[in-house]
Structure 1
Amino acid sequence: MQVKLQDIKLTYEKHHNIFERLNCTFNDGELVALLGPSGSGKTTMLNLIAGLLTPTTGKILFNESDVTKQDVRARNIGMVFQDYALYPHLSVLDNIAFPFKMAHVKKSARRKQAQKLAKLVHVETQLAKLPRELSGGQQQRVAIARALAKDPAILLLDEPLSNLDATLRIELRDEIRRIQQTTGVTTVFVTHDQSDALQIADKIIVLANGQIQQIGTGTELYHHPHNLFVAQFVGTPKINLIPIAEFKPYITPTIPDDILVKATTIGIRSEAVSLNSIEQPVIAKIPAIIEKQNQFGREIRTHICFQTSQLISTAISETTASSQAISVYVLAKGCYLFNRDGECIWAGDEHD
């Protein structure tokens, strides 16, 4: 199922606009992540697709058919929530089979279908248990199976991993991707965690303040951010930001003057801060002081002080003494200039 939101405006509370002229498309069979901080509009967009909210103006199209005025029961939607929302008095089997029961499917047939779905989500050994006897990850698997029992055209997942510990989160995240690829159902996945979106989504829609900041793959968002918000929100560790006034005296003639004069901030990815240039284009060589180094698995993060700014490098592998004065190269690849409005006006990846 393809889903389109066309010129959506949503107004609450005395003309306060949640969305204004919101436009996006979810292609058939895609897993799309809605990524953004709390209050950005992710769940609101999900509720519009589900039919739990009606836009003030604009259209919602399913395969070019206008469903704007249809309620949730007419839209063939499967929904999974962060709190699982299982029926506590029903077994795993009966929870999964519940949509079949509501559709008046015969008991033997609905049990058979529920068993198939339980196997799909890997809870086939838990069928006789009640929800309280399951782990959080198992409960969420049951919730996904129950949502799929409706044979939905679209599967909507609202922060489905937020109540899980780190290990279960990674495990179920991969399972959601496997299940989505197996079923081929168009899936919209709401999350505030970039790791979830980057790991499993075909496409990511980055939201902030009710506006789409950028749509793209994880690679596109990381290497080609359209604005300062996307550059800061996507990537670990966070992009280094320096006022251009502090950085300007050290810049080589790589960046055109007409671009440089419009810039207010330079963003530098951690991998672009290095002790040597390795025959790569360099935009600056700056004096710095190493403050400390931390090991994160295979990655070493070096904390550097440059004038009033604190930088993190992941390209300095050798252990270096703290408080040591050094010179570091800033490579063009991984550097971005932003203007006063936060727009990206220059990217080293595109001009090396």
Structure 2
Amino acid sequence: MQLTLQDITLAYERQPPIFTHFNCTVPDGELVALLGPSGSGKTTILNLIAGLLTPTAGQVLFANTDVTKQNVRTRNIGMVFQDYALYPHFNVLDNIAFPLKMAHVKKARRQQRVRELAQLVHVTELVDKFPSMLSGGQQQRVAIARALAKNPAILLLDEPLSNLDAALRNELRDEIRRIQQAIGITTLFVTHDQADALRIADKIIVLANGQLQQSGTGTDLYRRPRNLFVAQFIGTPQINTLPIAALLPYITTAVPTTILAQTAMVGIRSEAISLTPTDKIVLTKLPVTVTKQEQLGREVQTYSRYQKYDLISTAIPVLTPLPQSAPLYITAKGCYLFASDGTCIWAGGDA
């Protein structure tokens, strides 16, 4: 089922509006990540979809049906929270079956459905255990099964991985993707962690300050950021930034003067920086001081200093010895020019 927020405004008296004419769509059967920093409005959007909040204006549409005025019980959604929210006095079987019991589904059908869901989320051997006996990852699997018990049309996941350690987080996010694909349910996955979104989402909606900054695949967001916020929020290590004035004397690639006149900031991806000439188009060649290198697993990060600006590269091999001063080659591909309002006005990869 396609989910649409259409022209949503949410405002409270004597307070700035949280959303103004907000629009977004989660296509039928897709897993879409709603990604943004804390306070950007992600959970508020989830609550609007669930019916826990009512917008001041606009519509919440499930397919072509306006559900804006419907309460949470009539919207046919499943919700999973970051704190699992399992009933501690129920075992796994009863936790999964609880929504079905409240819907007066007959016992035989409830037990059949629980067995199906326990197998789907890989907790079949845990059905007699209580939440206190489970790991965080196991509890979240049970919470997902419970959310799916009534065959919801839409699944809402609110930071479901934030309480897990790194290994469990990686395991469970892959499981969420597997489960979502297995049943084909339209899913909105709220997270502040780009790794989660980039790993499992069909599409990512980037949110900041109550505004949709950009939506698209992870590749689109990384290679074609619409603005400086998206460029800085997507990608590890974070994109290098410095004012255009610091680069102007060294720019060698023909960038239209009309573009340069509008540019305030330059963004440089770490893979666009090397210490040797490249067969790619070079935007600029900078005299720098190499300060250190760090080996992070398979990746080597090289830190250098240009004037008062620090630059990080992931395209330079281990150097022995470490040179103090060197020319730094920056390719046009992986570089972006931003206007004073943050809008991306030139992408070197398209040059």
TM-score interval, smaller chain: over 0.9
Point out the more displaced range, 252-261 or 19-28. Answer: 252-261
AA in 2 matched with 1:315: A
Q: Which residue of 1 aligns with 2:239?
A: 239
Matches within 5 A, 1:196-207: 196-207=196-207
Match of 1:261 in 2: 261
Structure 2 equivalent of residue 119 of structure 1 = 119
Distance of 2:232 and 2:87 partners within structure 1: 40
Distance of 1:249 and 1:83 partners within structure 2: 53
**Any residues of structure 2 matched to 1:189-200 within 5 Å, and which?**
189-200=189-200
Question: 1-side partners of 2:68 and 2:237: how far apart?
Answer: 41
User: How far apart, in 2, do the equivalents of 1:208 and 1:347 lie?
Assistant: 22
Distance 1:13 1:150 in 2: 37
Does structure 1 residue 12 correspond to structure 2 residue 12?
A: yes
Q: Is the 8 A contact 2:82 2:158 kept in 1?
A: yes
Could you say which residue in structure 2 is the equivalent of 1:2? 2
Amino acid corresponding to residue 256 of structure 1 in structure 2: P
Residues in 1 aligned to 2:244 and 2:6: alpha-carbon distance in whole angstroms: 39
| Per-residue deviation, residues 153-201 of structure 1 (Å, max 9, x unmatched) | 0000000000000000000000000000001000000000000000000
CA distance in 1, matches of 2:81, 2:111: 24
Q: Which residue of 2 aligns with 1:312?
A: 312
Instruction: Provide the residue aligned with 1:279 in structure 2.
Output: 279
Corresponding residue of 1:332: 332
User: What amino acid is the match of 1:294?
Assistant: E
Question: 1:34 corresponds to which residue?
Answer: 34
CA distance in 1, matches of 2:46, 2:105: 29
2:248 match: 248
CA distance in 2, matches of 1:277, 1:26: 44
**Cα distance in 2 for residues equivalent to 1:31 and 1:227:** 24
Shift of 1:81: 0.2
Contact 1:3/1:25 (<8 A) preserved: yes
Using the alignment, how far apart are the partners of 1:113 and 1:68 within structure 2? Answer: 30
The amino acid that maps onto 1:125 is E
The residue number in structure 1 matching 2:270 is 270
Which amino acid in structure 2 is aligned with residue 250 of structure 1? Y
> Which residue of the partner structure matches residue 143 of structure 1?
143
Shift in Å, 1:321: 3.5
How far the C-alpha of 1:116 sits from its partner, in A, is 1.0
For the residues of structure 2 that align with 1:327 and 1:310, how far apart are their CA atoms?
Answer: 14
Which stretch has the larger CA shift, 223-232 or 15-24? 15-24
1:337 partner amino acid: L
**Letter of the aligned partner of 2:342 in structure 1?**
G
Confirm or deny that 1:93 pairs with 2:93: yes
1:137–1:246 Cα change, 3 Å: same
Task: State how far apart, in whole Å, the 2-side matches of 1:316 and 1:63 are.
Answer: 50
Distance in 2 of aligned mates of 1:331 and 1:320: 24
Where structure 1 has 5 or more consecutive residues not aligned to the other structure, the ranges are: none
Name the SS of the counterpart of 1:215 in structure 2.
strand
CA 1:61–1:328: 2 relative to 1, 3 Å: same
What does residue 59 of structure 1 align with?
A: 59
Amino acid at match of 1:243: P
After superposition, give the CA deviation of every residue in 1:28-85 in whole Å (9 maximum; x if it has no partner).
Answer: 0010000000000100011111111100001111111111101111100100000000
Match of 1:134 in 2: 134
Q: Give the drift of 1:278.
A: 2.4
Per-residue Cα deviation, 1:266-294 (whole angstroms, up to 9, x for no partner): 00000000122321001101001110000
CA contact (8 A) 1:277 1:331 kept: no
- Bigger CA drift: 98-107 or 166-175? 98-107
Is 1:214 paired with 2:209?
no
Aligned mates of 1:18, 1:284 — CA distance in 2: 42
- Deviation larger for 21-30 or 269-278: 269-278
For 1:350, the aligned partner's letter is D
Query: Does the Cα contact within 8 Å between 1:290 and 1:321 map onto a contact in 2?
Result: no
In 2, Cα distance between equivalents of 1:158 and 1:277 = 46
Alpha-carbon separation, structure 2, partners of 1:344 and 1:253: 18
**Aligned pairs for 1:178-189 within 5 A:** 178-189=178-189
Q: Point out 4+ residue stretches in structure 1 off by more than 4 angstroms.
A: none
Relative to structure 1, is the Cα distance of residues 247 and 202 closer, same or farther in structure 2, using a 3 angstrom cutoff?
A: same
